[in-house]
Amino acid sequence: MAKAKYESIYRDLKLKIEDEEYEYQSILPSESTLVGVYDCSRNTVRRALAQLAEIGYVQAINGVGVRVIYQPYDKASFIIGGIETFKETAARNKLNSDTEVVMFAEIVADARVAKRTGFAEGTELYYIQRLRKLDGKPCIMDINMFDKSIVTGITPEIAAKSIYDYIENELKMEIGMSKRKMTVERVTEVDSKYLSLGDYNCLAVVTSQTFNGMGIMFEYTQSRHVPEYFCFMDTAVRSDTTNK
């Protein structure tokens, strides 16, 4: 099954749900209808629908069909269970986005960095600090480290646009999965310098290790979010409790 096909169907349906062309609690067109609309196999449609279910946009109901369960949020909402770029998040929330590269350097992981990130000591890394803005407001400070031997050729210009777009479309590398940890941390001097904090003295911090399709870690990121503008979404499914 060609990934590009089901990915394009997934993205098209996702956008239509976000734009409320398919409204909350409505039933999507049948699989047979979608097969005709997208000129593809039933399995391709099912793969796209499964991806939508994984991020909490739809739910399959036996004897009924696939129901839309996505609802727009007042704040910019970030998906915990999926890997979504900053630009994709901004577009989904209908917000204008901008990225400023505050620092771009090349470093070698010492013992402290290795312990913090999970990279092996001695790994050559790109070290990037990026200020993220939504509707002109500085809301996120991203601290990224990328393994130079895996993600080659990053430049400040690429970092200001989309590193993931570069990875997927230029390097042709599959982004596999991400392990994440969420904490609340005190504001630092760097945060105070760049972010619109108002009265806040703490931030929501999402730390992640991201792996490629071969299971090799290529990125460590710490995203520091101003609480006022953000909520984090996940979809939980109760496990089978039979005989428990």
Which residue, chain included where needed, has tokens 């097969």? 35
CA end-to-end distance (rounded Å), the chain = 38
pLDDT digit string (tens) for 133-171?
988 889 999 999 999 999 999 999 999 999 999 999 999
DSSP string across 28-54 = PPPHHHHHHHHT--HHHHHHHHHHHHH
Give the Cα separation of 87 and 100 in Å (integer).
13
Q: How many CA atoms lie within 13 A of 58 on its CB side?
A: 28
Pairing of strands 175-186, 202-212: antiparallel
pLDDT number for residue 217? 96
Contact 57, 234 (CB under 8 A): no
Q: State residue 1's pLDDT score.
A: 43
Q: What are phi and psi of 141, to 5 degrees?
A: -110, 115
Domains and CATH numbers, the chain: 3-68 (1.10.10.10), 76-233 (3.40.1410.10)
pLDDT digit string (tens) for 161-214? Answer: 999 999 999 999 999 888 989 999 999 999 999 999 989 999 999 999 999 989
Which three-class secondary structure state does DSSP give residue 1? coil
Q: Are 142 and 130 in contact (CB under 8 A)?
A: yes
Helices within the chain (DSSP H only): 3-18, 31-38, 42-54, 86-92, 111-117, 156-161, 163-169, 189-194
Q: What share of the chain is helix, strand, coil (3-state, %, to 5)?
A: 30, 35, 35
Within 10 angstroms of residue 166's Cβ, the number of other Cβ atoms is 18
Token reading at 93: 């929330």
Q: What is the pTM of this model?
A: 0.70
CA atoms within 13 A on the CB side of 229: 21
191: nearest Cα among 230, 232, 138: 138
Q: How far is CA 47 from CA 81, 92, 105, 181, in A?
A: 17, 21, 40, 28
Q: Is the pLDDT of residue 85 over 80?
A: no
